[in-house]
A and B are shown apart, each in its own frame.
Chain A
Amino acid sequence: MDMKVAKKKLGLKEKYRLMTRDLGWEPTYRAKDEVFPYVNYEGIKVHDWDKWEDPFRLTMDSYWKYQAEKERKFYAIIDAHAQNNGHLNITDARYLSALKIFLQAISPGEYAAHKGFARVGREFPGVGTQVACQMQAIDEIRHAQTQIHALSNYNKYYDGFHAFADARDRIWYTSVARSFFDDAMSAGPFEFMIAIGFSFEYVLTNLLFVPFMSGAAYNGDMATVTFGFSAQSDEARHMTLGLECIKFMLEQDPDNLPIVQGWLDKWFWRGFRVLGLVSTMMDYMLPKRVMSWREAWEIYGVENGGALFKDLARYGIRPPKGWDDAEKAIDHMSHQFMLGLYQWSFGTSFHSWIPSDEDMDWLSAKYPTTFDKYYRPRWDHIRKLAAAGTPFKNFGLAKLCQTCQLPVVFTEPDDATMSCHRETEYKGEKYHFCSDGCQHIFDNEPEKYVQAWLPMPSLFQELNGDIGAWMNWVGLRDGEDNGDFVGSRDQRNFDQWRGMATSNL
């Protein structure tokens, strides 16, 4: 008689021990310092690597099982999207601009994060840490690939998607995200963990993926909802890893506190500046909006970020230095940046537009203290110029911040009528900054940031200021990928194809 013998199941803790700790070994014929040469120079003191635990206790076998299931779900929807004219089901072709920025600026960042985690997984000595970094390295390359794959469906029909990799390396607004990742990847392993685990995962991805993906659902874009949520299902693990790393450093040695605090200050502000792009996508580029940038900030910045720093206070951590300046910027940043994108739209590989009356009414309801006072009058003026046939275009080049690489378009924290600009002189050269936060970051590590590659100076150094040559170089087709949405090929095609899809003509 056959008897079914129940397999003895390992407890979660025991399984985690066997499948992580027990995979490590002590080197015998080489010194540990030689095997892990990068783990000490940042000054972080670690006494016991075994104290590092993944709270989820995820082991590689379960990891593959669950990731495979996520992929199956993802491709089921991506196939359905391609088979069912998904590119015509979005609410409005203006929405595509948000996707283009996402593909040009964010997806390559996922790939950079992959490279970074593959590297630090090798540089950290602890086995628990190595396994967690290995998983995250694989996650991040999956995010880059699924995002590129999902958006390739739109590339078949619309402009601005085709040259995202060149755009990422060369265009001015994408260099904001690029410099964030380059900065992280050229830092030591512990700082990298704060940059990505804390700043990118904890501060940014909640604000980027969650309301934005919910917004994608609202705008009929199932492809983006799917890659967004599929990626975000890994982010919960990544945030937890980032938080774990912070707690681990603080618990290992009291001398680590000032170093960790300095990194939190720096990377909070770096992350916040990347959010300049996100705020504009949320407030201006979703035809149907779930929540405003301000509302998202209340939930994921003030409430959740505030809770995190209250929790970390037990280790002596205080909220990051730029926290108050960030709060003051929330009601202004999306408007100031969209005004910038609109006036420099000759140089963007996506379309921008003047908000409609309905959009502006929504913005004044969401920003009662700022929109009508500072921004509606400007849009009204810009609209008058457009109606008169003399649209407001700025063919000059923006001055860029040496640290975050955003154009210097923001105002003083306490005066929204004064443009904010800081300068540092270093070894006889002048450097410009958008804010105190960015200037402090530079002043702490000038030798790093004087080497930053900035798109505007490069235009002159490499292409003698020839805008046409620059457009070729960044993969931007003048009159197709750039400029105003009104009258664009995307607008014409979408209207025409949608008409064909809903009638028999």
Chain B
Amino acid sequence: MSTVFIALQANEETRPIIEAIEIDNPLAVVNRQPAMVKIDAPNRLVIRKETIEEQIGREFDLQELHINLITLGGNVTEDEDSLTLSWAE
């Protein structure tokens, strides 16, 4: 098992995104540090457009993530509906 992670700036735009990540990834662990939030998960983490849209109540383009992204670890796979981070098992 390896840890994948994503770190986002701690701000009003990312609060609902982090909530969406927690909903979609029950194994994710959210670490809050000064000015940033780092989310770790075993082997795989999925970020879904639909879940974020439900949290924020408007359309969301997954590429908007780039604005508040700090760093990530894992292989990235992205399409319109989701962004997945994974390590080979």
Contact = CB atoms under 8 A, between A and B. Distances in A.
B55 interface: no
Interface string A310-335: 11001000000000000000000000
A240 B87 contact: no
A210 B70 contact: yes
A4 B10 CA distance: 37
Contacts of B64: 66
A438 interface: no
Contact of B35 (A56, A213, A308): A213
3 tightest A-B contacts by CB? A307-B2, A217-B35, A55-B76
Contacts of B72: 236, 239-240
Interface residue SS majority, chain B:
strand
Contact of A290 (B34, B67, B68, B74): B34
A396 B72 CA distance: 44
B52 interface: no
Summarize A's interface: helix, strand, loop or mixed.
helix
A470 to B, nearest CB: 39
A229 B34 CA distance: 12
B63 A62 contact: yes
B85 to A, nearest CB: 10
B78 A55 contact: yes
B66 to A, nearest CB: 5
Interface string A265-305: 00000000000000000000000001000000000000110
B69 to A, nearest CB: 5
Contact of A210 (B36, B74, B75, B77): B36
Nearest to B63: A62
Given A62-B63, A311-B87, A12 B79 contact: yes
Interface residues of A, number: 40
Given A232-B71, A236-B71, 5 more contacts: A11-B79, A210-B71, A229-B35, A240-B72, A303-B3
A145 interface: no
Most chain A beta carbons < 10 A, residue from B69, B74, B79: B69
Interface of B: 2-5, 7, 9, 33-36, 63-64, 66-80, 87-88
A163 to B, nearest CB: 30
A240 B70 CA distance: 13
Nearest to A201: B71
Contacts of A57: 78
Contacts of B75: 55, 243, 311
A239 B5 CA distance: 13
A248 interface: no
A11 B80 contact: yes
A66 B66 contact: yes
A217 B32 CA distance: 13
A214 B7 CA distance: 11
Most chain A CB neighbours (cut-off 10 Å) among B70, B75, B80, B88: B70
A214 B32 CA distance: 11
Contacts of A62: 63
